[in-house]
Structure 1
C-alpha cells in the first residue's frame, strides 16, 4: 500500500483517536515546540505545532507523513525534518491556511511529498 503525504506512516506508532495535543515535537536536530492541534482524518492528517520561543509567536503545519515515531509514554513526536527545514517552510497562519488546498499543495511540494495535496509520488 502506498502511503499518502497527509496520513501517518503505518510505522509511526500513531493510534487513531489518540489526543496528541501538548506532545513535544522533536526535529532531527532538536525540539521545535508542542502540538497545539492535530487531525487524524485519513488523507488529511497533520500537526499544528506552537513553536513557542523557538520561532516566537509562530505556528507551523506539519503533514502527518513527516512523523516517524510517537512515544506515548514520554508524550513526544519525532519528525524526519531538521529545525531549519521546518523554519523555512511556507509561512503558516491557522485562520488563512488550515484546510486551504493551495497551501497544502505548496507545503507538500516544499517537503517533497509529491502530487496534488501531497499524494505520494511512489
Structure 2
C-alpha cells in the first residue's frame, strides 16, 4: 500500500495536466481547506492543503492515494480520510517533503494505515 499511496487511483478522475491549485478539499466528514500546491510526479504525487482557520493555518500533505474523486466542474477534491485523521497528520514541512525519506515514511505510515491519529 505504501507505493500506491503516492499515486492517484485510476478512478479518481485526476488528469496530469490539470492545475489543482485552489481546488476545495473535502474529507469524508466535511470541508478541510484548499489546495496550495501539488505534484504530478509519478510515484510522488500529492496535494498540500492550506487548512486556513480550521487548524489555525496549518498546512497538511495528503498523498495522492487518499484522493477518491476530482471534480473539475466544481473544482473540488474528495479524500478518503476524516477531518480528525487529517488534523492529526504530521505537519507539512516544505523543507523536508521532497528530499527526506523519513518524512515521506512518516506520512505514508499515517495515511497508509488509515491514519489512526494520536
Asked whether the equivalents of residues 38 and 45 of structure 2 are also in contact (C-alpha less than 8 Å), the reply is: yes
Aligned to 1:31: 31
How far is 1:23 from its partner?
0.1
- Deviation of the 1:112 alpha carbon: 2.2
The CA distance in 1 between the partners of 2:24 and 2:82, in whole Å, is 15
Structure 2: segments with no counterpart, 5+ residues? 114-118
In 2, Cα distance between the equivalents of 1:16 and 1:38?
11
CA contact (8 A) 2:5 2:112 kept: no
1:91 to partner: Cα distance:
2.0
Q: Is the 8 A contact 2:51 2:59 kept in 1?
A: yes
How far, CA to CA, are the matches of 1:92 and 1:27 in structure 2? 17
Tell me which residue corresponds to 2:116.
Answer: none
TM-score, normalization by structure 1:
0.86
Across the aligned residues of Structure 1 and Structure 2, the Cα RMSD in angstroms comes to: 1.1
In structure 1, the gaps of 5 or more residues are 114-122
